[in-house]
Structure 1
């Protein structure tokens, strides 16, 4: 069974939180897949991960590229996992993959100010628990530090 972490965005946007989480995953030696729900989000994240920090970038590619298996991070519009990722990030209400148990960890990142994403995250929490996965809920405090709430 996989660990499934739910990150409730309230103080920082996805574009600020995701690179930090990806850096931590890469520091563990994990390959990562980011599952999005639209081509527009995929393109925006593709650009952002190259330029989010003036002194750094996250090497990545798109899951639909011929060399996707070589990338340490891929951005996907579906459940594909061409780089054999150990960790999968679900953003914008992306669905849990049918093979969720194959991942070391799944990170569900949802915008707490978006009612649709909030409702989707609640439904996914129930789905994760019913499937027997370990679920934890993370929220930022007023200083921006993440704390485990459930």
Structure 2
């Protein structure tokens, strides 16, 4: 069954959360598309993954790199899936462009090609929470199981 996990992080932990989840997917042999809200954020994550772990490298690329279909982790600011990923990560999907993109993908059920969707956000505004709830309700309506986690002050994840 398709699953959606929502991670509400502390603001300073969003990059670390994304890196940890990307790493877990990579070690589970899952291909990932990471959808960022703009090109600057896309390239920031691209650079961050080069230095994230001193122990090992996580192969990845962005839409600015050649051969996107060979990347186990593909970072973009446009909805695309050139590497045939089964995991979609939405980072800070509270911006208006995410709503239009997701509405179209949900309406025609093409988003169902992803067996797992991870939504990672740090905003505490009421509107942001309402946007996340709208997204998860739409995903639940087409068959996704929804799990929601919030990060405690000491960094642990708590299911809500």
TM-score by length of 1: 0.87
Q: Which residue of 2 aligns with 1:145?
A: 156
What secondary structure does 1:78 align onto? coil
What secondary structure does 2:30 align onto? coil
Count of residue pairs brought into register by the alignment: 149
Q: Give me the whole-angstrom Cα distance separating, in 1, the residues matched to 2:13 and 2:113.
A: 28
CA contact (8 A) 2:11 2:122 kept: no
Q: Which residue of 1 aligns with 2:119?
A: 108
Determine if the alignment matches structure 1 residue 41 to structure 2 residue 41: yes
Determine if the alignment matches structure 1 residue 62 to structure 2 residue 62: yes
Determine if the alignment matches structure 1 residue 125 to structure 2 residue 136: yes
Q: Give me the whole-angstrom Cα distance separating, in 2, the residues matched to 1:91 and 1:70.
A: 22
What secondary structure does 2:150 align onto? strand
What secondary structure does 1:13 align onto? helix
Distance 1:57 1:15, change over 3 A: farther
- CA offsets, 1:49-83, max 9 Å, x none? 11123343322101353300111100112221111
Gaps spanning 5+ residues in structure 2: where? none
Gaps spanning 5+ residues in structure 1: where? none
Query: Greater share of helix residues, 1 or 2?
Result: 2
Cα displacement (A) at 1:126: 1.8
TM-score by length of 2: 0.82
Distance 1:52 1:114, change over 3 A: farther
What secondary structure does 2:112 align onto? helix
Q: Give me the whole-angstrom Cα distance separating, in 2, the residues matched to 1:32 and 1:20.
A: 13
CA contact (8 A) 1:34 1:76 kept: yes
Q: After superposition, where does 1:24-103 map in structure 2 within 5 Å? A: 24-93=24-93, 94=98, 95-96=101-102, 98=105, 99-103=110-114
Q: Give me the whole-angstrom Cα distance separating, in 1, the residues matched to 2:22 and 2:83.
A: 15
